[in-house]
Amino acid sequence: MLTHYPGAAAAFDRAIAADPGFALAHAGRARALQMRSDIPGAKAAIAAAQTLVGDQSERDASHVDVFNLLVGGKPEAALAAVRKHVATWPRDALVVSISATQTGLIGLSGRAGREQDQLDFLALAPHYGDDWWFNSHYAMALSELGHRAAAQLRIERSMGEHPRNAYGAHALAHLHYENGETDAAILFLRSWLESYPPHGALRGHLSWHLALGHLEQGDVEEGFRLYDNALAADEYHGPKLNKLLDAASYLWRAELAGHPRDHTRWRVLHEFAHRTFPRPGMPFADWHVALIDAVVGDATAAEARERELDEMVRAGRYSAGPTVPVLARAFAAFARRDYSTAIDAIESVFGERERICGSRAQIDLVVFTLLGAYLAIGRLDDVRRLLQMRRDSGGIPVARLEVALQS
């Protein structure tokens, strides 16, 4: 499970067959099924674990409680339980893992300062020493906050010790992105994915990273081949959230780079988005659904979702605050070519963009949209200002950018 290779659920099944009273095997199976988006199966598995906690140690009972809250859809309570658990049992890696990534309980919290909170949470480092699994997560958190040299050392040690580690490959892909090392990213991902099973949970997302590299080099067709075969495939083996995010992101980035709109792919994605995430509540999903609605012109769905989001914000029930509904209106304005309104909206929440959730690479979609809007109405001083604010990275696939800057 920790390497994101296939087989975790089957392995837990074997453990349960060998020892039906082993509560942690049932809890592990629940997590494996949840990661495959099998929520009914996950709930049944964690319910089985709960029936056994009376015969377990205090540590095991606490472990089961964490996953019961997680599978039960109570992220804030689950995160509180994680923090309490690791204060006593810091080397329970499976519990740590659900708060150690950008799509974990901290990463999806929508709170201001979540990136630093992520790194602070991983102050567990002394308990792990030079552990390959922990190093991959710590490297990612360091990279996201600009500590790239320290991240490089961690990820090199992680991959050197255990190269069959999909999250380690993911962390290295992000580091290449942050460093602007497009050629190195493509070379590494092509080679590493050759031996990763087609039904591996991170196959789609790692293919998104590879597709972004090809898009940056101008090879949009190779990106679309990866889109169809992996990151938006009908037979998708990773979390459905990843498919939503990566598919929308690649299609929109391709358009920002100047390639024509693929109406068929957008319509298929629109149907998937509303079937899989019919109601708002998860900021990371919500702003991608808003983008999809804006592109396909589904004003009815977009307005209904915005009303729900605004109501949740007013009631204090939306962790990301007003950032996502404001961004939804920005996408809608951009789609109707009202670039000034789009700019005003994005600028109003730009300083809080980490609250929309996602890695720096994923949030760059918003940055590139703002660049596209500036370029569309000739605000070149603002283009230069925004580029100066960015890290020292590689090329930015936004149409007319280089020509405008040379004028």
pLDDT tens per residue across all 407 residues of the chain: 999 999 999 999 999 999 999 999 999 999 999 998 899 999 999 999 999 988 789 999 999 999 999 999 999 999 999 999 999 999 999 999 999 999 999 999 999 999 999 999 999 999 999 999 999 999 999 999 999 999 999 999 999 999 999 999 999 999 999 999 999 999 999 999 999 999 999 999 999 999 999 999 999 999 999 999 999 999 999 999 999 999 999 999 999 999 999 999 999 999 999 999 999 999 999 999 999 999 999 999 999 999 999 999 999 999 999 999 999 999 999 999 999 999 999 999 999 999 999 999 999 999 999 999 999 999 999 999 999 887 555 578 899 888 777 76
In the numeric block, which tokens belong to residue 222?
Answer: 């190779």
Phi-psi bin for 318: left (phi > 0), alpha (psi -120 to 50), beta?
beta
Q: What is the torsional sign of CA 242, 16, 73, 111?
A: negative
- Domain residues for the domain of 255 are 197-407
In a domain, 216, yes or no: yes
Helix (H) or strand (E) holding 163: none
**How many domains in the chain?**
1
Between the two ends of the chain, the Cα-to-Cα distance in Å is 52
Distance CA 5, CA 355 (A): 30
- Tell me the pTM: 0.95
Residues 60 and 24: beta-carbon distance below 8 Å: yes
In a domain, 342, yes or no: yes
In a domain, 402, yes or no: yes
In a domain, 227, yes or no: yes
In a domain, 260, yes or no: yes
CA 193 to chain centre: 19
